[in-house]
């Protein structure tokens, strides 16, 4: 599979891998594309089943920075496997990427972060009871998760947001398995635990990326207030609609960050 990628983009060595979440795939329009390969043509890559996840690897440049964009992810809830993104994440490390920059759509646990806001993730909580490194064998299984979301990259994302005059929060992301949304009681518990945003992805990929030796950065687009924070129901339609509507700001932020990546 690495050979297949090398064959499509001979000599290309990406520095940053960018993983695009629900409704956020349009960032690829910022990439001066060298090659675009459907996941279906890459052995071991998942077949995303969620609307808003294209399932393509796009290789190219943002400014002078060579990037590999994973346009769409598979989630634990789709196949019941937490390591669904292991092959793509490890492929990014093998291709020479040093950083995995993730995006996702998430629910807000804070009234001062309304739908449409951006939040740079500073840490995560995984109380799901599962882990993508289950069963991997003894080699480097005890991965350190201190500063898993690289503090220097957090600062650079915040600086990029400021330079683009984008109001950007920072905070802690809690991973829930889904696919049902959380109950209001679960969200109250998550607030008590110290979470600022909730979602169904990202934490497993961060663990896999740290295991593969990649630095990690991540940005959430907050598409709704989490269950029970305000009256009313929550649905995936809103996730897609608000993510699409906010993708312009996210694009500016990621472009600025990547152009100045160095
Ligand atoms: N909960 C979990 N995942 C989500 C949410 C939410 O409220 N919004 C977008 N993704």
Q: Quick one: pLDDT at residue 14?
A: 98
Task: Give me the half-sphere count of Cα atoms (radius 13 Å) on the Cβ side of residue 99.
Answer: 22
Question: What would the mean pLDDT of 237-261 be, rounded to a whole number?
Answer: 92
> For atom 3 of ligand 1, which residue has the closest CA?
199
| Residue range 132-141, pLDDT digits in tens | 999 987 778 8
Q: Give the mutation target among 198, 218, 220, 242 for probing the ligand 1 site: most ligand atoms within 8 A of CB.
A: 198
Residue with token string 């029970």: 228
> For atom 9 of ligand 1, which residue has the closest CA?
106
Q: Quick one: pLDDT at residue 175?
A: 98
* C-alpha to C-alpha distance for 208 and 218, rounded to whole angstroms: 14
* Percentage above 90 pLDDT, the chain: 85
Confidence of residue 196 (pLDDT cuts 50, 70, 90): very high
Q: Quick one: pLDDT at residue 6?
A: 92
Least confident residue range of 44-53, 99-108, 241-250: 44-53
Confidence of residue 243 (pLDDT cuts 50, 70, 90): confident
Helices assigned H by DSSP within the chain: 2-8, 76-79, 86-95, 151-163, 184-193, 203-211, 236-259
β-pairing, 56-62 vs 118-126, is unpaired
Has residue 49 got a pLDDT over 90?
no
Question: What would the mean pLDDT of 60-79 be, rounded to a whole number?
Answer: 95
Cβ(31) to ligand 1 under 6 A?
Answer: no
| 2-259 under CATH 3.10.450.40, yes or no | no
Confidence of residue 242 (pLDDT cuts 50, 70, 90): confident
Q: Quick one: pLDDT at residue 51?
A: 78
Ligand 1 centre to CA of 225 (Å) is 8
Please say whether the beta carbons of 66 and 75 come within 8 A: no
Burial of residue 144 (number of CB atoms within 10 Å: 0-12, 13-18, 19+): exposed
* Closest among 110, 76, 93, 127 to 17, alpha carbons compared: 93
Question: What would the mean pLDDT of 231-243 be, rounded to a whole number?
Answer: 89
Question: What would the mean pLDDT of 197-216 be, rounded to a whole number?
Answer: 98
Q: Which helix (H) or strand (E) holds 172?
A: strand 168-175
Question: What would the mean pLDDT of 44-72 be, rounded to a whole number?
Answer: 91
Instruction: Give the domain ranges of the chain.
Output: 2-259
> For atom 6 of ligand 1, which residue has the closest CA?
107
| Residue range 5-35, pLDDT digits in tens | 999 999 999 999 999 998 788 899 999 999 9
Residue 8, C-beta contacts closer than 8 angstroms, at least 6 positions apart: 35, 37, 59
Question: What would the mean pLDDT of 187-215 be, rounded to a whole number?
Answer: 98
Q: Quick one: pLDDT at residue 118?
A: 97
Q: Quick one: pLDDT at residue 24?
A: 86
Ligand 1 centre to CA of 180 (Å) is 9
Has residue 52 got a pLDDT over 80?
no
Ligand 1 centre to CA of 259 (Å) is 30
């Amino acid at each position: 599979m690495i050979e297949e990628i090398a064959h499509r983009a001979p000599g290309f060595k990406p520095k940053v891998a960018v993983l695009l979440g629900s409704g956020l795939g349009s960032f690829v329009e910022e990439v001066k594309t060298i090659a675009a390969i459907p996941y279906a043509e890459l052995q071991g890559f998942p077949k995303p089943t969620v609307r808003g996840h294209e399932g393509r690897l796009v290789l190219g440049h943002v400014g002078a920075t060579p990037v590999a964009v994973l346009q769409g992810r598979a989630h634990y809830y789709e196949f019941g496997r937490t390591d669904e993104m292991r092959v793509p994440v490890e492929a990014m490390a093998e291709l020479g990427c040093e950083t995995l920059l993730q995006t996702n759509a998430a629910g807000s646990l804070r009234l001062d972060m309304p739908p449409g806001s951006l939040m740079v993730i500073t840490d995560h909580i995984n109380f799901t009871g599962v882990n993508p490194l289950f069963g991997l064998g003894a080699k480097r299984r005890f991965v350190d998760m201190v500063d898993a979301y690289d503090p220097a990259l957090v600062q650079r994302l915040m600086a990029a947001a400021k330079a683009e005059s984008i109001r950007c929060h920072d905070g802690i992301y809690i991973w829930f398995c889904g696919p049902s949304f959380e109950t209001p009681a679960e969200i109250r518990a998550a607030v008590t635990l110290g979470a600022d945003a909730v979602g169904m992805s990202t934490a497993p990929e961060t663990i896999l990326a740290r295991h593969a030796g990649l630095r990690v950065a991540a940005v959430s687009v907050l598409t709704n207030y989490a269950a029970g924070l305000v009256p009313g129901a929550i649905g995936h339609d809103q996730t897609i609609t608000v993510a699409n509507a906010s993708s312009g700001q996210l694009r500016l932020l990621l472009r600025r960050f990547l152009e100045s990546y160095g």
